[in-house]
Structure 1
Amino acid sequence: MVASGRRSRRPWLVAAGVVLVAVLPACGPDEQPRATGTSSSSTTAAPTTTTPPPPPPPPPVYPLTGVQAPGVVNRPALAVKIENSIDARPQTGLNMADMVWEEVVEGGITRYVAVYQSAVPAEIGPVRSVRPMDPAIAAPLHGLLAFSGGQQQYVDAVGAAGLQVLSMDAGSGGFYRVHSRRAPHNVYATPQTLLDQADGAHVASPPPQFTFAGPGQPPSAGAPAGVVRLTMSGVSHPSWTWSPPDGAWLRSEGPSPAVEADGARLRATNVVVLSVNVVNTSARDPAGNPVPETQLLGSGSALVAIGGTVVTATWSKASLGDPVVLTGPDGAVVRLAPGTTWVELVPLRTGSVTTG
């Protein structure tokens, strides 16, 4: 029975030995068993992220036109008084101005304040004298104001407004008389010579005067209109007609096209019409006419002609050195189309504006 019992246990031992031999080589005496599942202590590498580069800076633009510039242009704004009597026409250099302001002076005729910064023409004129509203027009530019002369109180007001005075009567360079016209309509100027006289306090580029539509942004929307007719006074009736082929508003003086000395039609990308109070000062011109002053502080109604449309707006100017702000019916600032701008200062009581 005993022998029989041993025989009966040996196959089990052999079988067990086989099992042990099969299992033990997989795990030696100094080895630990391999994990068969995912260890709770294992970590997953954090995904790598790349910070996108910052967007490129917007391309530089000319501050007074909103037009893209080939680079930063460090040049001050040069404002020049240009005559607009019949004897002064046709003028030279107006189409190269970034901005032109039209104001009523004595006798109902008008004069311009033409502002140059993005381009400098070879010649401009006829140049005439300063008027009491010119500091309010030019002060926000922080640049130079050039004119033939003027009453001392108005000349002093230019300097008090922070502008550099360039006056022919005071001996500033860059002015000369031409022989093709009679005085006083024959004073012309070389803009670069005027700019070369800028002192250290007046060499910086001007801040923007209006808000322009940026890349991918449309100008403010308005109602369709093809013509803007103005009455500045009893003797001044300019108008602006939208020309799709030119992409510009073209100017007329009464029924006649307004042109420059080279025959080119006077034009503007935007026409801004401000209704303003005009009051007579105590000063008189040589003919005895009272010298009027356009009051540019405060606010009033405005109309902005852009791309064959007109936007009804409100203008406001907080101080002498602040630019005019144009606000639309929705309360947002009016965005002009990049390009040149003419500003018409239409007397509130005696002037008028119609569109069609």
Structure 2
Amino acid sequence: MNVEKIDKSGQKKNARWESFKEWVKKHILAIVLVASAMVIAGVFIIAIHSIKYEQTASVELKLPTKKPAPKKFYSPLTGVEIANEAAAKLPVTGVMIENSPAARPQSGLKKAGVVYEAVAEGGITRFLALYQGEKPALIGPVRSLRLYYLSWAAPYQASIAHVGGSPNALSQVRNGNYRDIDQFFNDGSYWRSRDRYAPHNVYTSGEKLDQLNSAKGYNNSEFTSFARVDGKPVESPNATSVNINLSGSLYNTSYAYDKASNSYLRSMAGAPHNDREGGQIAPNTVVAMEVDVEARAQNYDGYEDVKTTGSGKAYIFQNGAVATATWSKADINSPLKLTDESGKDVALNRGQTWIAAFTPGRGSVSWQ
């Protein structure tokens, strides 16, 4: 064994170790400072990441939730938007309005929600104007009731404003099942105008009808009427001029479609049909129904009644177009329905609906 070589190798190792210890002693402060800096930097980085995470989590928790769209309410009578659900249950009032030449121009027709038009007698037509909620300040002239108008009004759970009526109509409306507000028994709610002569001068007002309904406890009406839809002019109109002949030249009507308002400007006896206070009458939808007539079933007095129950052909004019439909009504208290060839309800435009009932052979409907 070579002892000298081992000793020299060990001496060299000891010399390197001693040299390293001397270097550490000289630089110990710098080493400590560097190590401390590294520790502090690590803590700072961790803290920054923690803060960022907390901020991100906080922002995510505070994201605003999407508010649901406000609920809309629509009139069951006209389909137009109304203020609230309570307005949809306000009482409906039907007013019999005269249409003889001496009664023109009428008051209140323009603001009616639905109007039914038919011959009363002698070729003279008459209107049943239905209102819900806000009513005109002036309505009239008010005239007598016929059984078929009562049949059209009954499904709306409507009060019936009239001045007397045919024997069978009065027998029915006074049987306790209807809201009869006949002028004969409620004289304070009607008055006679001095600018017209009797019997064409009985008037009422929206305010007086509301007061009368309230006094009798007629505070709401619950009913189902026509399906409604937002109207839009068709691209290819096929019915922009409509003629509905009900009896004769003094009572025949026509409608000119106005695309701008998507309504039908009504004329009667060859001249624009104006409401005395409201101006041009222009329903959003016009319906012409074919109906039969029959002699009055009780207390025969030589007059006829329109048959309102059963079914028949109807023509619906809206958006500049015509659609053929079927009208049907099961009984006096059932609603009038308008259905297509598949039996589905035809949706009518929101707004005023004017329904004219004519008897084929005595009246007619045409368009172009």
TM-score range, shorter chain: 0.7 to 0.9
State the one-letter code of the partner of 1:264: G
> Which residue of 129, 136, 151 corresponds with 2:144?
129
Q: How does 1:87-102 map to 2 (within 5 A)?
A: 87-102=102-117
How many percent of aligned residue pairs carry the same amino acid?
Answer: 33
CA 1:310–1:252: 2 relative to 1, 3 Å: same
CA 1:161–1:347: 2 relative to 1, 3 Å: farther
Q: How does 1:62-141 map to 2 (within 5 A)?
A: 62-72=75-85, 73=87, 74-141=89-156
Map of 1:346 onto structure 2: 358
Q: How does 1:225-240 map to 2 (within 5 A)?
A: 225-235=239-249, 236-240=251-255
SS in 2 for 1:129: coil
Structure 1 residue 101, shift from structure 2 partner:
0.4
Map of 1:306 onto structure 2: 318
Q: How does 1:1-356 map to 2 (within 5 A)?
A: 58-72=71-85, 73=87, 74-160=89-175, 162-198=177-213, 202-213=218-229, 224-235=238-249, 236-262=251-277, 264-281=279-296, 290-356=302-368
Indicate if the aligned counterparts of 2:232 and 2:262 stay in contact, CA closer than 8 A.
no
Indicate if the aligned counterparts of 2:327 and 2:337 stay in contact, CA closer than 8 A.
yes
Indicate if the aligned counterparts of 1:174 and 1:191 stay in contact, CA closer than 8 A.
no
CA distance in 2, matches of 1:324, 1:56: 33
Indicate if the aligned counterparts of 2:168 and 2:296 stay in contact, CA closer than 8 A.
no
Structure 1 residue 220, shift from structure 2 partner:
10
CA 1:205–1:218: 2 relative to 1, 3 Å: farther
Indicate the structure (1 or 2) with the bigger Cα radius of gyration.
2
Structure 1 residue 152, shift from structure 2 partner:
4.3
**TM-score, normalised by the number of residues in structure 1:** 0.77
Indicate if the aligned counterparts of 1:222 and 1:310 stay in contact, CA closer than 8 A.
no
CA 1:241–1:284: 2 relative to 1, 3 Å: farther
State the one-letter code of the partner of 2:206: P
Structure 1 residue 168, shift from structure 2 partner:
1.3
CA distance in 1, matches of 2:158, 2:84: 20
CA 1:292–1:57: 2 relative to 1, 3 Å: farther
Indicate if the aligned counterparts of 1:62 and 1:118 stay in contact, CA closer than 8 A.
no
CA distance in 2, matches of 1:151, 1:191: 25
SS in 2 for 1:173: helix
Q: Which runs of 5+ in 1 are unaligned?
A: 1-51
**TM-score, normalised by the number of residues in structure 2:** 0.75
Indicate if the aligned counterparts of 1:142 and 1:202 stay in contact, CA closer than 8 A.
no
Indicate if the aligned counterparts of 1:104 and 1:111 stay in contact, CA closer than 8 A.
yes
Indicate if the aligned counterparts of 1:142 and 1:162 stay in contact, CA closer than 8 A.
no
Indicate if the aligned counterparts of 1:130 and 1:155 stay in contact, CA closer than 8 A.
yes
Deviations 1:139-191 (A, max 9, x none): 10112000011244322212448321111122343100010001100000022
Displacement over 4 Å in runs of 4+: 52-58, 217-223, 282-285
SS in 1 for 2:279: coil
CA 1:345–1:132: 2 relative to 1, 3 Å: same
Q: How many residues align?
A: 300
CA distance in 2, matches of 1:332, 1:222: 24
RMSD after superposition? 2.7
